[in-house]
Amino acid sequence: MSVAVPTQTQNATRKLGKNELHLIGSNFWNIRGCRKYLKMIDIETQMSIIQLRTGKFIIIDTVEMNNCLRQKIDKLTNNGDNIEAVIGTHPFHTLSFQAFYKVYSKAAYYGTPRHLRRLTKIPWAGDLNDYNVRKKWEPDIEMRIPAGAEFINPQPESTNHFVSVFVYHTASQTLHVNDTIMYAEKPGFLLKLFGCKDGAIAFHPSIKTSGLYSTRDAPYLFRDWMHHLLYDWPFENMCCAHIGVKLGGAYTDVVTLLHNSEPLFAELSEKNRKRIPLGRTSSSDQTHININDNECG
């Protein structure tokens, strides 16, 4: 993990079980899913369910459902009739969307540009790269895309999983984020071999390589974007796809992470200054690119 820092506050709960509805805050539920890395390390993935003031529900990302989980979602959402929208926030978290759509096809589906390119059998209602789509459910839900990183066509596909849409639910003061920020409450033995520590919070490791643009300004653009987010969103809880949920005190921990990452931002900026920026695939013709495999959720 990159620039991992210990959390400042003890988590309010034990590790959350898989395929269960966990009430995180007012009208906000999180579901933990299984995602195996190298076929043996469970780095987890997630889905969140938010109830709007209207009574309708928004699904943020999807996980593989078993019958028990489906029954609980049906009970919560009146057999899916009250699901207004299903939203995919991370370009490489796509594996469960097709199966979810087969069960809940009445909802409107929104995704990243890569969702739209990869999952062509889903009749997408909109693209999260569209500012108006991201504003659609305010003030209940706010969504933002990090600055300084590639969102439309992340390269290389195998490692650049840094960027995702951040989702903030105001009523529960909960942040939903995939990959960009990682939290490990009680990582298993194999994850500890990779450097994960108990209660550690970190930016995705690709921040050191391909996660940000290879320009001098990119690290500081991302840093400043994070500062603005922290100014606007007073979140207490944070649901991370990899590897868990931080209940209470998440805001303070992210502030500490950002502060401790300042030397890294300076190092990356200087490194980029000394080299020719890496070429990026143009966003003008992406119909058949960046769509195969390399999924992490």
Q: What is the DSSP letter of 17?
A: P
Lowest mean pLDDT among 110-124, 150-164, 196-210, 238-252: 196-210
- Return the number of other C-beta atoms located less than 10 Å from residue 39's C-beta: 5
* Contact indicator for 55, 40 with CB cutoff of 8 Å: no
pTM flag (> 0.85)? yes
Average confidence (pLDDT) over 292-297: 50
Query: What is the chain's mean pLDDT, rounded?
Result: 85
For the chain, list the domains and their CATH numbers.
2-274 (3.60.15.10)
Cross-strand bridge partners of residue 146: none
Whether residue 2 has pLDDT greater than 70: no
* Contact indicator for 86, 105 with CB cutoff of 8 Å: no
pLDDT tier at 36, thresholds 50, 70, 90? very low
Of 93, 114, 99, which is closest to residue 46 (Cα–Cα)? Answer: 93
- Name the token pair of 172: 């529960």
Per-residue pLDDT, 297: 41
- Return the number of other C-beta atoms located less than 10 Å from residue 288's C-beta: 8
**SS3 label, residue 36:** strand
Are β-strands 237-240 and 245-246 bridged in parallel, bridged antiparallel, or unpaired?
antiparallel
Per-residue pLDDT, 193: 42
Per-residue pLDDT, 39: 53
